[in-house]
Structure 1
């Protein structure tokens, strides 16, 4: 199914004359997202290392911009509308809370009895409800009011909690958001992602696997010589198999590491000099190009040379390329995310978010921001009220979460 008029419909009907005047609704979707507060806040949210950790590492915003840059060119080469892929790429992390996936774990624990918390489901909520741009005729918020095609492209996991094609903690919509989710999925294949969502997802995998490696080396968390040590890499390959490519056998993952090293892209050493930093940049360009080109060629081999979009095709990721990407993800996991001092910090961060939910619950009328206060008043039961509180906590930057915690610890109801 290629792009049609129905793909351009919006959750809230707009003036027909205005719609006729719009030469490209998909470009307008991208503009709405670029100017959103939710996107700006990603600059203060953790990617792998905490926002502000040093002057080199990525935050959620720079990561999203890099995913969009990869996705836009990659999608255009395959015949997608570049603005649809760009919008999905910029939007894909909007629902992530403070402190990255670590914060997601804590909020999911807090929401265990009300449907859980999932960053991708929260992204849908931000796009269609929480980010202020348009309202329904009855006054209910409608978020950015993007086109159906753009919202579908931003949906990595097109099912509700527990409703996936196989067991997974990932899902794309809370029960409270099923009306808009069902509208987005009109005409879609159940459980299937549209082609643009697959392009966005692979661009995300490529960006964070390669850039996390670059950040780890540049920030001295990883000595690149360790990548050539059989002892050091044994545990990395185990993580790759357990967490990122469970269907790949150990020999295939070891071979993937050898192929990456054989390219010569990864420097043998790093001393922090400009020459060394330039070598890291060359590394990222070469490996990103390798991962994207392999998938482009495999997809074209299966589907031919014509434009590919929506549900006309599926992205083809060769097993060897997926294994190489999984190994790089495992490197960052082993040397950065699960390093001993990082684990202690992660525990503190989870406790902080749990405290914030309790602090807001103690005085929601003064501690909720004004838009969330209105949602809280309109909530019909305790579950809905907790969801509103979590919506606010999830929206916070790392720094504001820390600030509010310090202000409210021991307080009795004051609000800054």
Structure 2
């Protein structure tokens, strides 16, 4: 392995001897990727909502398929930036595979309700929950004191997984990357980094997520019959863009951005009709848009620095045009899929369900928790710590299991 990633980057919280099961021996970052792939938390992503619920259609994406697609985008972009250098690609891919592990049932809707319910325990944030899973909740390695250190990933991999490298108290807003009781491992993994500075591997993961999110959610909406790319309401899309993604974009800018996107050669000239030819055209558009975004970022990054594009040696550069186009595509999905009346009603019921589930688990003093969380409850020193245990349990559930747990526990009353 070259000096782009030194012994400090490859260090694990608990030292491990190399394994010689396979020849040639895997690098530390290849081992990290394998651990994330085989984690139970990764398997659960298959039954967690992306945009449309995973049970609603065989075609639409769930959190697992989304993560796989983010990983592919991250790996390809990493290889393009560093001339095929494998360690960067391994790190970025692993971070992408892990980036949604902390998402609770019902996607961002579930995240928002748990953030409110967990205020007295330090809040809830999907990325902070991902760090907690990787370093504590996912069982693999224990330290000399008998405490779980999760998957015991390398420092560089954990840093790559940290989209928001700050605690809630350090920066205003809903996004943060670590809870108070996980600060010791956070301090360890961030050793040598400037405060709140993201490594380039985390930047690649974040961009890959944005690219996949903006493009694939529109694709799913088209196939679900909710979006007609030949008849977009500019004013409605603009309102959705400003409400959630880019408050600074007026209708004229949104219209101009949509004009740029619709000028792409593979943009459809007629509505989606479910035929094989129509599906192929949609997939070609998806590929072209992803290539457009990643190509623009690669060019801008090369123009800004010579590299190498690893750790803190350089930053990813995302052109304003690319940011604007991604925001507008997100606005298309938001207006036609996430903000419809039927979707709002469903989301309201989901929020109610999670709130009732958290309350029911707290009422039972740990008796209804899975064994590993029941042990955490028994060791919790105060009410805030016990609330965190319940939130950990609920966040681990899939959409279907959250519904089943609610039916079982509320039915007992």
1:15-414 aligned at under 5 Å gives the runs 15=17, 23-79=26-82, 81-164=88-171, 167-227=172-232, 232-248=233-249, 250-268=251-269, 269-304=271-306, 306-411=307-412
**1:6 pairs with 5, 8, 14, which one?**
8
Contact 1:162-1:169 at 8 Å conserved across structures: no
Contact 1:50-1:59 at 8 Å conserved across structures: yes
Contact 2:68-2:97 at 8 Å conserved across structures: yes
After superposing the two structures, state which structure 1 stretch, 80-89 or 367-376, moved more: 80-89
1:281-313 CA distances to partner (integer Å, 9 max, x unpaired)?
011000000000000000001112x43100011
1:255 CA displacement: 1.8
SS of 2:169's equivalent in the other structure is coil
Counterpart CA distance in 1 for 2:46 and 2:19 is 37
Contact 1:152-1:197 at 8 Å conserved across structures: yes
TM score, norm. by length of structure 2: 0.94
Contact 1:10-1:147 at 8 Å conserved across structures: yes
SS of 1:335's equivalent in the other structure is helix
Contact 1:265-1:287 at 8 Å conserved across structures: no
1:248 CA displacement: 4.4
1:18 CA displacement: 7.7
SS of 1:356's equivalent in the other structure is helix
Over aligned residue pairs, what C-alpha RMSD do you find? 1.7
Count of aligned residue pairs for this structure pair: 404
Q: Could you say if the C-alpha distance between residues 162 and 233 of structure 1 is closer, same or farther in structure 2, counting changes exceeding 3 Å?
A: farther
1:239 CA displacement: 2.4
1:250 CA displacement: 4.5
Counterpart CA distance in 2 for 1:204 and 1:8 is 25
Counterpart CA distance in 2 for 1:249 and 1:301 is 30
Contact 1:226-1:233 at 8 Å conserved across structures: no
Counterpart CA distance in 1 for 2:256 and 2:288 is 19
Counterpart CA distance in 2 for 1:11 and 1:204 is 27
SS of 2:168's equivalent in the other structure is coil
Counterpart CA distance in 1 for 2:101 and 2:151 is 12
Counterpart CA distance in 2 for 1:389 and 1:236 is 38
Counterpart CA distance in 2 for 1:257 and 1:336 is 18
SS of 1:81's equivalent in the other structure is helix
1:245 CA displacement: 2.4
Counterpart CA distance in 2 for 1:17 and 1:214 is 42
1:362 CA displacement: 2.0
Counterpart CA distance in 2 for 1:14 and 1:385 is 32
Counterpart CA distance in 1 for 2:141 and 2:280 is 45
1:12 CA displacement: 1.4
SS of 1:226's equivalent in the other structure is coil
